[in-house]
Every structure is written in C-alpha cells, then in structure tokens.
C-alpha cells in the first residue's frame, strides 16, 4: 500500500511536455508510481481535475539569516516553493568571526533591506565556518529543501577584515579565499555567488566587499569552485562588469555563469535584450552564460528614512549614513536636491531609479488629513503644485516626519518585453529575493505569478512551459538530480493547484519578525496542497499548524 495517492489530476511532469490525466503515488518520501490505475494509499486525495506539478525551485533567495529562526522560510511554502537556493549575490552570514557579526548584520540591514533589530534578535550564531553553518542547517531539519551558495562578500570579510571594504586583495589573501571556496564546495555548496552591482552598498553606504574584487580575484575564486567539477558561479552584475569577463570565467572554470538581474528597463529598453544576445553568442561558443530574469514587476515600498531605490544615485550616498535631524536637514538642502536632479539626468537609465515619477505613488500617508493623496502619483501631485517631482517628494515626506510610505515600479513594467523574457527558453525565471528587502517588497510568489498571469492570462508561454521554467529547468541548471520532475524514484516535492485561479494575491504588512519588526508578506491564490519529500506542509488554507520539518539540506549535485 502506498503512503499517499493523488488521483484524477492533470500531471505536469516538469519537462515541458503536455499534461496527462492520471494519478501519482508516494511512498517513503519518493514518487512510487505514476499511472491511470494505481493501487490504494493510506491517504487518498481526489484532485478533481486540479493540476499536480513538481514543487517550485526558487533559485534566488536570501533566507540565510531567516532560516536560523524560521525553518519554514515563510512565506515560500504556501506559495508553492519546496526548494530554496540561498546565498545569492554572495551576501551570506558564513563564514563569520564572532567579532564581525554585528558588521555582517549591519551590512545586511543596508544591502538587503533587513531590520537590524530583527537580525540581532533572531540569528542563531551556532557557527563560524561555512561547513559549520551547513551542518547547523542540516541538524535543524528545515521545512523546505535548501541549497547554499558560498558567498563572496562573507569570505572576503573573513579573510581581509576591514580591508574587504577598502581595497583589492593581495595574492596571499586571494589564495586563502580560494581555499575557503574549495572547502565550501567539498561540504556541499551548490556554487559560488558574488555581486558587482552598484546599488549593493553595506553599512554607511560603503560598497559591499565583493565590489572591490578585481578580475584576477574573481577568476581565481571561480576556478577554485570549478575544481570540484560541479557547481555554478552566480553573479549580480553591475554596469562595469563586461560580458567578456564573464565568458572568460565560464571558459576558465568550466562551469556555468548565472547572471542577474536581467530586468527590462523602460528608460533603456534595448539593454536587456542586447545582453541576452551577448550571452547567446557566448553559449554558441561553448561558454554557458545563463540570464536570470523575473516574472514580476520590480516594485518597492519605501520611506525616506531609508530609500534603497535611490542609493545608486551618486549624490544620494551622503544620505545613506544619516538619520534623524541631520537627514532631514540634508533633504531640505537646495544643494543636495540640485545634485540629485543632475545625477538623474546623467544616469541615462543605469540606476535603479531613473526618474519615472509617473510610476511612483503615495502608498500610505502618515497624517490623516493626507489620506486622500494615497494612490496618486508623485508626478501628478508635483505637476499640480508646479514643482519638480523630487522637490514635492522630499517636501511631502518632511511634512510627515519621513513616515510616508511610497511605492515605486522600477523595472519589468512593459508587458510585451517581460513576456518575451520569461518565455525565452534560455532564461532562468527567479529573482524573488525572498527573505530580503522585507520592508520594501515580497516577490516570493513569483512562481504562482508565472503560472497565472504569464501562462494563463497573457499566454506568453504554455502552462507546461511555465511549469518547466519553475521545476525541471532550474533542477538541471543547479544540478539537483532527484527533483524538478514527476518521475518514479524522485523526491516527492509536489504542488497541487487550480490553473483557473492560481496567482499571487496582494502583499500585506505584518509585524511578526523577531523584535516585532515589519515585513511585507505575499498571499498565494489557487494553491491546494504542497508536499516536501512526501510530507504535506501546506493545504488550501496555508501552512499547516503542525507542518513537519520535512526538508533537506541538498549537498549532492550533478556536474
């Protein structure tokens, strides 16, 4: 007798093939049988024509810290995710000496929009090295499957101390970093991750350590990763990193290079497609450059207490380290405002925010008498007052003691362009950033959005293709051999959903992080069940109150 049989489902097997009506049986945490007429199960579910697919593999998360206090990586499981890849951009919390813990948390507060109070109250520091961190995750038995990158910025800080934020590394320091990469790969890391992206600043606006690495350091560390014969290099690319350098890394390391973040930018509309063409040319030469794209519009909620979206503007960097009255005084300064306006003119679409004031709205006013302005754009309100949008924004925020919540759509707002990105067979659809930027955004429901909005509503790709994008494709990319497909003998990571209603709902703000810190949390629509290694963790009402910790730390990857 099987442990579980799900009958009368449309089976989307993750390969991209059309769905087949049938049943699936589970025993011992693995798929035991697939067919039209299966034997009995200790538990039986009549799917009544719902769709059954492999669980979503989220390839771009930042749950490194959260997993130490929340083994279920909420809200990902109710959004269909059964495997989370952590350590992206190289912003990990291991290795970390006790003396560097506070700096590490402060950097995460800035670069990943995390609450410092939440991190200080929540992180369980039962480790120092990467192997110790991974052993801790395995021993704690996470609620989802986890694959972990070795992180460049953490490794650089561990080896170079304060110099990691200040200078290029010496040959001896590079050799020591390379040894730590080898150690991580030997203990089951999925690869090595880094960032050269200009908005990636740490505490007080100092560049994150990986941004100080020169080409010889990048090449040495990726070669060290490649010595294992497996793994991939994940990079969040800045404007200064040429594609030729990344192709050299792919050639010298012998491993794929996964390149984020390939968003469409209205102010530079051809750029992302030009970069995808360069990656295609590299692949034709035998060098695997893989673009990582998002299915969601990049939307951020923010206040002027800490406005992450403006931090790529050079003149704004003076604001990063300020708070209270000095920050308010800077915002009131005509010289500061003039400098920011000039930089916006010069950036020519290269920043995170590029002056699209018509896509920025008042989300939540702090004063009751301003509630009527909610939902109106900054451009509209500034035009009505006859002033520059930046002046209106700063003046209004100052009038509300900087407590106003604004929302801005920054990337991926062109439906036709984004549809082209997500449907491209070469692209890896991910970029949820789940676990990070919690006060600004929550795109953890990216997979449901792909299934509902892009496959069903926009028909940019078929439902079978969308399932493949979320399952079989990332499993092959990351070398996860026993997941991503509905096949006998593979792990029973499953998502049961209604194709007619599936999607992501509205984000809601909660105050349930450690120390009572706030976050945005996405709601799933059309999810009827999620199983991790054969154990049900989610039903139609969300995460089960007694959900088992059924996940695994993934340490075995195919070449």
- The CATH code of domain 56-297+412-444 reads 3.20.20.140
1-54+482-500+524-547 homologous superfamily: Urease, subunit C, domain 1 (2.30.40.10)
What are 215-250's pLDDT values in tens digits? 999 999 999 999 999 999 999 999 889 999 999 999
Helix axes 171-186, 215-226, angle to 10 degrees: 30
Q: Do the Cβ atoms of 526 and 502 come closer than 8 Å?
A: yes
Residues in CB range of 380: below 8 A, 6 or more apart: 358
| Domain segments of the chain as ranges | 1-54+482-500+524-547, 56-297+412-444, 300-410
Q: Do the Cβ atoms of 51 and 79 come closer than 8 Å?
A: no
Mean pLDDT for the chain? 96
Q: Strands 503-504 and 524-525, how do they pair? A: antiparallel
Distance CA 275, CA 279 (A): 6
Q: Do domains 1-54+482-500+524-547 and 56-297+412-444 have the same CATH topology?
A: no
Q: What is the pLDDT of residue 67?
A: 98
Q: Strands 508-510 and 519-521, how do they pair? A: antiparallel
Question: Which is nearest to 237 in space by CA: 190, 282, 185, 197?
Answer: 197
> Could you give the percent of the chain with pLDDT greater than 70?
100
Q: Do the Cβ atoms of 247 and 255 come closer than 8 Å?
A: no
Q: Please tell me the pTM assigned to this model.
A: 0.93
Distance CA 155, CA 392 (A): 43
Q: Do the Cβ atoms of 235 and 259 come closer than 8 Å?
A: yes
Predicted confidence (pLDDT) at residue 111 exceeds the cutoff of 80 = no
Q: What is the pLDDT of residue 127?
A: 98
Distance CA 551, CA 559 (A): 23
Assign 112 a pLDDT band (cuts: 50, 70, 90): confident
DSSP of 49-73? T-EEEEPEEE-SB--TTGGGT-TT-
Q: What value does the CA radius of gyration of the chain take, rounded to a whole number of Å?
A: 23
- What are the angstrom distances between the C-alpha of 40 and each of 6, 29, 98? 10, 16, 54
Q: What is the pLDDT of residue 259?
A: 98
Q: What is the pLDDT of residue 407?
A: 93
Burial class (CB in 10 A: 0-12, 13-18, 19+), 8: middle
Residue 303 DSSP symbol: B
Assign 109 a pLDDT band (cuts: 50, 70, 90): confident
Q: What is the pLDDT of residue 310?
A: 93
Predicted confidence (pLDDT) at residue 347 exceeds the cutoff of 90 = no
């Amino acid at each position: 007798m099987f442990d579980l049989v799900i009958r009368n489902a449309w089976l989307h097997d993750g390969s991209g093939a059309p769905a087949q009506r049938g049943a699936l049986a589970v025993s011992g945490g693995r798929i035991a049988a697939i067919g039209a007429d299966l034997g009995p199960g200790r538990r039986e579910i009549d799917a009544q024509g719902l769709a059954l697919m492999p669980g979503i593999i989220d390839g771009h998360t930042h749950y490194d810290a959260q997993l130490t206090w929340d083994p279920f990586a909420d809200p990902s499981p109710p959004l269909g995710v059964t495997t989370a890849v952590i350590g992206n951009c190289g912003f990990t919390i291991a290795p970390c000496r006790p003396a560097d813990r506070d700096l590490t948390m402060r950097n995460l507060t800035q670069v990943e929009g995390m609450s410092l109070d939440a991190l200080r109250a929540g992180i369980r520091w039962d480790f120092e090295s990467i192997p110790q961190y991974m052993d801790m995750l395995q021993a704690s038995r996470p609620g989802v499957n986890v694959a972990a990158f070795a992180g460049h910025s953490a490794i650089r800080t561990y080896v170079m101390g304060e110099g990691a934020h200040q200078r290029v590394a010496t040959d001896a320091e590079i050799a020591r970093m390379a040894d730590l990469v080898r150690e991580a790969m030997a203990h089951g890391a999925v690869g090595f991750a880094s960032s050269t992206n200009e908005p990636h600043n740490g505490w007080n606006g100092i560049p994150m350590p990986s941004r100080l690495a020169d080409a010889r350091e990048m090449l040495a560390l990726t070669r060290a990763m490649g010595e294992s014969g497996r793994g991939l290099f994940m990079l969040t690319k800045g404007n200064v990193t040429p594609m030729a350098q990344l192709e050299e890394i792919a050639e010298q390391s012998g491993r794929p290079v996964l390149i984020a973040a390939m968003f469409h930018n209205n102010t530079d509309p051809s750029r992302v497609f030009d970069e995808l063409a360069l990656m295609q040319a590299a692949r034709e030469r035998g060098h695997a450059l893989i673009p990582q794209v998002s299915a969601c519009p990049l939307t951020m909620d923010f206040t002027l207490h800490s406005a992450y979206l403006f931090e790529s503007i050079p003149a704004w960097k003076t604001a990063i380290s300020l708070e209270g009255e000095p920050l308010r005084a800077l915002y009131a300064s005509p010289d500061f405002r003039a400098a920011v306006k000039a930089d916006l003119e010069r950036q020519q679409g290269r920043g995170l925010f590029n002056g699209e004031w018509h896509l920025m709205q008042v989300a939540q006013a702090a004063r009751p008498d301003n509630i009527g302005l909610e939902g109106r754009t900054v451009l509209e309100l500034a035009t009505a007052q006859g002033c520059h949008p930046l002046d209106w924004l700063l003046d209004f925020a100052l009038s509300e003691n900087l407590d106003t919540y604004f929302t801005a759509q920054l990337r991926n707002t062109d439906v036709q362009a984004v549809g082209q990105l997500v449907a491209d067979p070469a692209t890896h659809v991910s970029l949820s950033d789940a676990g990070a930027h919690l006060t600004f955004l929550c795109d953890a429901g990216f997979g449901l959005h792909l299934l509902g909005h892009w496959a069903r509503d926009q028909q940019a790709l078929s439902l079978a293709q969308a399932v493949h994008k979320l399952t079989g494709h990332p499993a092959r990319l990351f070398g996860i051999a026993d997941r991503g497909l509905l096949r006998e003998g593979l792990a029973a990571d499953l998502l049961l959903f209604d194709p007619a209603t599936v999607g992501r709902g509205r984000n809601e703000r909660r105050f349930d992080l450690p120390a009572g810190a706030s976050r945005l949390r996405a709601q799933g629509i059309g999810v009827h069940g999620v199983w991790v290694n054969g154990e049900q963790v989610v039903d139609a009402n969300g995460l089960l109150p007694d959900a088992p910790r059924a996940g695994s730390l993934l340490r075995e990857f195919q070449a």
